[in-house]
Amino acid sequence: MKTTVARKGAYIGAGAGLVLFAIFGLLPGSLLGGAAGINVAGWIFGLPLDPGLLQRVFVLAGMLAGVLVAGVAIVTATATVGWLAGRLVDVAVHMKEASEEGSATPMERR
C-alpha cells in the first residue's frame, strides 16, 4: 500500500466491513460457531449434553470462534475490495497524467 488513494480505499473498505459485520455477521457467526461447539462437546462428552460448566465452555468457545472467523473474513474481504478500488483509481489517475504528458501508457515512457 504505497499510494495514499489505495490506503484510503482500504480504510474505507475496512470501515464498511465492520458495519456489515455488525449487521450481518454477528448472528450467523455465533449460530454456526455454537453449533460447532455443540458438536465438539458432543464428541467429547456424548450426546445429549448435560448442562455442566465444561460443556458450556466448549459451546461458548465455539460461538466466540465463529464470531471471530466471520469478522475476520468480512473485514478482510471488504478491505481488499476497497484497496483494489483505490488502486484502480490511482492507476486511472496515473494513466491520465501519462496521456497528458504525451505518452499513451507508462510502459512507453521507459
pLDDT at 9: 93
pLDDT at 29 over 90: yes
> What is the domain partition of the chain in residue ranges?
22-109
Q: What is the pLDDT of residue 24?
A: 94
Does pLDDT of 110 surpass 70? no
pTM: 0.79
Chain-centroid distance, C-alpha 31? 18
User: Cβ contacts of residue 50 below 8 Å, gap of 6+?
Assistant: none
**DSSP string for 18-53:** HHHIIIIIHHHHHHHHHHHHHHHHHHHH-SSPP--H
Residue 3 in this model has a pLDDT that exceeds 80: no
